[in-house]
C-alpha cells in the first residue's frame, strides 16, 4: 500500500483541478547550480556513473526538494539512456556534451535497433524511481521523464549535439521512410520506458522535445509531435487509483500549441518566447500549462525576480491549470538563494488567483 | 544620373506591387559555401580585411549575383562594424566567432560611447556601397543592412557571442535605464549608418535582429522592437524618386509578427518556424514577407529542394508581397549547385501565382 501523497498540487494543477496556490518545480532543479549536487557528482567521478547508480541518482533527485519547498521531485537521469541501452555507446566529453560511439546513419543501422526492456536494460533507472518514491515518503509527487523520439533521433544520427542538424534533416528530407522507421522504434522504446517508470512509482510523466522547435511547423507535426502523440496513446493513464498526467514540452513550439493540445496530453510545457496568457487563451480550455519564466531572470536581483514571478502569474490569471516553472532548465551559474526567492514568491503571490 | 534598374522585382514585391515571378535572394549569399568567396577570403588574409577593403568587399558582393540569377545583391559586411567604429576593438577568433577587446559593462562605458560618423569612421562600408552600385550597372537592386540595437548590444555587453546572454539580460533586468541608454545610442548610430548607405546607393534596407527571439515577447517589444521602430522612423524612405523599402528580420519572432507589422516597416523577414501562409493571414495585409525555407533543405537532393520551394510558394499563395529566401543564412557546407536548383525552381514555379 502506497504512502499517502501529502502535497498533490502539481497533479491537481496539471489536470486543472482547484489548488490553494500555484505549484512550482524547476527544470534541471537537480543540477550543477547546487553545491551539494556538485559534491555528489564529484564523488561519482563522472556523469554517467551518477545516472546509473540508483543510490546517487536518488540522492541528487532529493537535494532540491530538501533545500526548497518545491512541489515536485523529478527523476535524475538523462534523456540519452534509451539510445545508450540500444547499444550506441554513450559517452561524455567534459564541457562538450554527449557523444555516441556508434551513430545511426544507414538502413542497416536502423534495422539493427531493438526496443530495450526497461526492467533489465534500463534497470538502474527503474530502481532509482523505486528508491526515490520510498525516500520521498509522499512529500511531493515524482515526475518521470524521457526524451521525445525526434530529439533522441537527432543525437543518434548526428552522433552528439548539433548546431544545424544537417544529417538528421537530410535523412528526414531525402529518406523519410527510414526516418519514420527510426522514430517508430524510438516511440515504442519511450512508451515502454515511461510505463515502467509509472509501474515503479512515477506519478506524472514529461516528454522533453528539446529540438522539435528546429523544424518547420509541418515537419514538427509529422516527425516529432506525431510520435509523441503515439506515445501518449500507449501510456498508462491511471495508476494506484490516480490519474497520471502527461506533460509534453517542445522548446520553441509557440506556433504549434493548438496541435500539441490535440495530442491527448494533459499539459503543455511553454518556453518564455510565448506569453503564457496568450497560450492560455489559445489552449487553456483543453490542457494545463507549465512555465515559463526566462531562466536568465534568476541572474537578476531578488526584487526583480519577485516582480517577474508576479508578471507571469498575472499573465496566466485566475484559476487552476498553471504549474510554474522556468521556460527551460536552470543554468549552472545561478545563485541557489535566487531560486529560493522565486519559490517563495510563487507560493505567496499566487494565493490571490486561487 | 543613376543607371536604370533592370530588375526591380525585389523592390516591387517588398511593397506588394505586381511582379512577374517571385524574387529570390539568400541571406549570406556572399559566403563560405562559394569556392570563389573562399578564394577571395584567402587573398584578403582575414575576415576583417575582407570587410574593410572596398574592392574586396565589392568583389564578394557580386560573386553570387554573377553565378546565379538572383534578384538582389546584399552588401558584404558585418553587423559589428558599428561597435567596432565605437572603439570596442573587434577581432575574430578562427572557428569561434567575433570578440570585443573592450566590452561594455558599466555606466561609464556607456557614457563614453559616441555615434560614429558613417562617412568618416565607417567610410569603408559607404565606399563599398558606392563601388557595388557602380559595378552592378542596374542589374539588380542593392540591399544595405545593419544589426538591430538589441543584437549589437548583446555582443557589446557579452564581449562576443553567447549561449544564454546572461550579462546582457542581467543588465536589462536590473539596470533597465542603463540598457535603454545603450540601445538609444545604438539606434542613433544605426539610423545614421543606414541613411548613409541609402545616400551612397543602397536601394532597400534590412535590419538583422539575430537575437531578439531570445527575449520574452514583452521584453522583445520594449528592448528590441521599440528601437527598430525608432530607426524606421528616422530612415530616408525615398531616394532617387523611388521608395526605399525597409525589412525587419528577427529570428524566432513568430509570437510578435503583428507588433513588428505595426512598426511602419515595409516587410518582415520570417524564419522557418512560422508557416509563411499563417504569417500572411496574420499580417500580409500590412507588409510584405520574406522567407522562409529551412536552410537545411539545401542539404537535400535537387528534387526534394524543388518540392519544398513549391510548398513554400503555395503556402504564401497567389499575389505579390513575397520575397523568397531561406529562414536564416545559407550554411558553409551547402553545394552551390543546390542553390542554383532553388533559384531556378522559385522563378519557374512561382509564375503561376502572379
Query: Rounded CA gap, B220 and A109, in Å?
Result: 44
Which of B294, B305, B310, B315 should one mutate to test binding to chain A, selecting the residue with the greatest count of A CBs within 10 A?
B294
The residues on B that touch A, with CB distances below 8 Å, are 164-166, 169-170, 173-174, 213-219, 252, 254-255, 272-275, 278, 294-297, 299-301, 304, 308, 311, 331, 333
| Interchain pair B273, A255: CB under 8 A | yes
| Interchain pair B217, A274: CB under 8 A | yes
CB contacts of B272 in chain A (<8 Å) are 216
Q: Which segments in chain A show pLDDT lower than 70?
A: 1-2
Q: Is A28 a catalytic residue?
A: yes
Binning pLDDT at 50, 70 and 90, where does residue B117 land? very high
Residue A1 falls inside a structural domain: no
- Select the residue of A174, A252, A308 nearest B300 (Cβ to Cβ): A174
Q: Is B99 a catalytic residue?
A: no
What CATH number should be reported for the domain holding residue A248? 3.20.20.210
The residues on A that touch B, with CB distances below 8 Å, are 164-166, 169-170, 173-174, 213-219, 252, 254-255, 272-275, 278, 294-297, 299-301, 304, 308, 311, 331, 333
Q: Is B316 a catalytic residue?
A: no
Question: Largest alpha-carbon pair distance within chain A?
Answer: 58
CB contacts of B169 in chain A (<8 Å) are 294, 296-297, 299-300
Of A85-99, A220-234, B57-71, B315-329, the one with minimum mean pLDDT is: A85-99
Q: Which of A41, A133, A251, A306 is catalytic?
A: A41
Query: Rounded CA gap, A348 and A340, in Å?
Result: 12
Give me the pLDDT at residue B95, please.
79
Residue A270 falls inside a structural domain: yes
CB contacts of A170 in chain B (<8 Å) are 296, 299-300
Which of A157, A171, A294 should one mutate to test binding to chain B, selecting the residue with the greatest count of B CBs within 10 A?
A294
| Interchain pair A166, B218: CB under 8 A | no
The number of folded domains in chain B is 1
pLDDT digits (tens, 9 = 90+) for A191-203: 999 999 999 999 9
CB contacts of A217 in chain B (<8 Å) are 273-275, 278
Q: Are B174 and B104 in contact (CB under 8 A)?
A: no
Total H helices, total E strands in chain A = 17, 11
The larger pLDDT score, comparing residue A97 to residue B10, is at B10
CB contacts of A331 in chain B (<8 Å) are 164, 166
Residue A3 falls inside a structural domain: no
Nearest chain A CA: its distance from B217 CA (Å): 6
Q: Which of A33, A37, A155, A227 is catalytic?
A: A155
- Structural domain of residue B257, as residue ranges? 9-353
- Select the residue of A216, A218, A304 nearest B174 (Cβ to Cβ): A304
Q: Which of B12, B16, B41, B280 is catalytic?
A: B41
Residue A253 falls inside a structural domain: yes
Give me the pLDDT at residue B1, please.
47
Q: Please provide the average confidence, as pLDDT, over all residues in chain B.
A: 97
Query: Rounded CA gap, A208 and A212, in Å?
Result: 9
Q: Region B110-139: what's the mean pLDDT?
A: 98
pLDDT over 70 (residue B94):
yes
Q: Which of A8, A71, A78, A209 is catalytic?
A: A78
Give me the pLDDT at residue B236, please.
95
Q: Is B41 a catalytic residue?
A: yes
In which order are the strands placed within the sheet that holds B246-250? B73-74, B142-147, B204-209, B246-250, B267-269, B288-293, B322-326
Q: Which of B32, B67, B102, B167 is catalytic?
A: B32
Give me the pLDDT at residue A2, please.
64
Phi, psi at B13, each rounded to 5°: -65, -40
Query: Rounded CA gap, B72 and B203, in Å?
Result: 10
Residue A215 falls inside a structural domain: yes
CB contacts of A308 in chain B (<8 Å) are 173
pLDDT digits (tens, 9 = 90+) for A171-182: 999 999 999 999
Residues 6+ apart with CB under 8 A from A189: A82, A86, A115, A116
| Interchain pair B275, A218: CB under 8 A | yes
CB contacts of B275 in chain A (<8 Å) are 216-218, 255
Between the alpha carbon of residue B347 and those of residues A26, B203, B342, the distances in Å are 49, 22, 9
CB contacts of A301 in chain B (<8 Å) are 173-174
Alpha helices in chain A (DSSP H): 9-14, 35-44, 47-52, 54-67, 81-85, 107-111, 118-121, 123-136, 149-158, 166-174, 176-200, 217-220, 226-234, 257-261, 276-283, 302-316, 336-350
Residue A2 falls inside a structural domain: no
Residue B2 falls inside a structural domain: no
Q: Region B219-223: what's the mean pLDDT?
A: 98
Give me the pLDDT at residue B2, please.
64
pLDDT over 60 (residue B129):
yes
Q: Is A32 a catalytic residue?
A: yes
Amino acid at each position: 500500500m502506497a504512502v499517502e501523497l501529502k502535497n498533490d498540487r502539481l497533479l491537481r494543477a496539471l489536470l486543472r483541478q482547484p489548488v490553494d496556490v500555484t505549484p512550482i518545480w524547476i527544470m534541471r532543479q537537480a543540477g550543477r547550480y547546487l553545491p551539494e549536487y556538485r559534491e555528489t557528482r564529484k564523488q561519482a567521478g563522472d556523469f554517467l556513473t551518477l545516472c546509473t547508480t540508483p543510490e546517487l541518482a536518488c540522492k541528487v533527485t532529493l537535494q532540491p526538494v530538501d533545500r526548497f519547498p518545491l512541489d515536485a521531485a523529478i527523476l535524475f537521469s538523462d534523456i540519452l539512456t534509451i539510445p545508450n541501452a540500444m547499444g550506441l555507446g554513450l559517452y561524455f566529453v567534459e564541457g562538450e556534451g554527449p557523444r555516441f560511439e556508434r551513430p545511426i546513419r544507414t538502413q542497416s543501422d536502423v534495422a539493427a535497433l531493438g526496443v530495450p526492456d526497461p526492467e533489465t536494460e534500463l534497470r538502474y533507472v527503474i530502481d532509482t524511481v523505486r528508491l526515490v518514491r520510498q525516500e520521498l515518503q509522499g512529500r511531493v509527487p515524482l515526475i518521470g521523464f524521457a526524451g521525445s523520439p525526434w530529439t533522441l533521433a537527432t543525437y543518434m544520427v548526428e552522433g552528439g549535439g548539433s548546431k544545424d542538424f544537417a544529417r538528421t534533416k537530410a535523412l528526414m528530407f531525402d529518406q523519410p521512410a527510414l526516418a519514420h522507421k527510426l522514430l517508430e522504434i524510438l516511440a515504442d522504446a519511450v512508451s515502454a520506458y515511461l510505463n515502467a517508470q509509472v509501474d515503479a512509482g512515477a506519478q506524472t510523466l514529461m516528454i522533453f522535445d528539446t529540438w522539435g522547435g528546429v523544424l518547420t511547423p509541418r515537419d514538427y507535426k509529422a516527425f516529432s509531435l506525431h510520435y509523441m502523440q503515439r506515445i501518449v496513446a500507449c501510456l498508462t493513464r491511471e495508476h494506484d487509483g490516480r490519474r497520471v498526467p502527461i506533460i509534453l514540452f517542445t522548446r520553441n513550439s509557440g506556433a504549434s500549441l493548438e496541435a500539441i493540445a490535440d495530442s491527448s496530453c494533459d499539459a503543455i510545457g511553454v518556453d518564455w518566447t510565448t506569453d503564457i496568457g496568450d497560450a492560455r487563451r489559445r489552449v487553456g480550455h483543453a490542457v494545463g500549462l507549465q512555465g515559463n519564466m526566462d531562466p536568465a531572470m534568476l541572474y537578476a536581483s531578488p526584487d526583480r525576480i519577485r516582480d517577474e514571478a508576479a508578471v507571469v502569474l498575472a499573465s496566466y490569471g485566475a484559476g487552476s491549470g498553471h504549474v510554474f516553472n522556468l521556460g527551460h532548465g536552470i543554468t549552472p551559474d545561478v545563485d541557489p538563494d535566487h531560486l529560493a526567492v522565486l519559490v517563495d514568491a510563487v507560493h505567496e503571490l499566487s494565493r490571490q488567483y486561487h
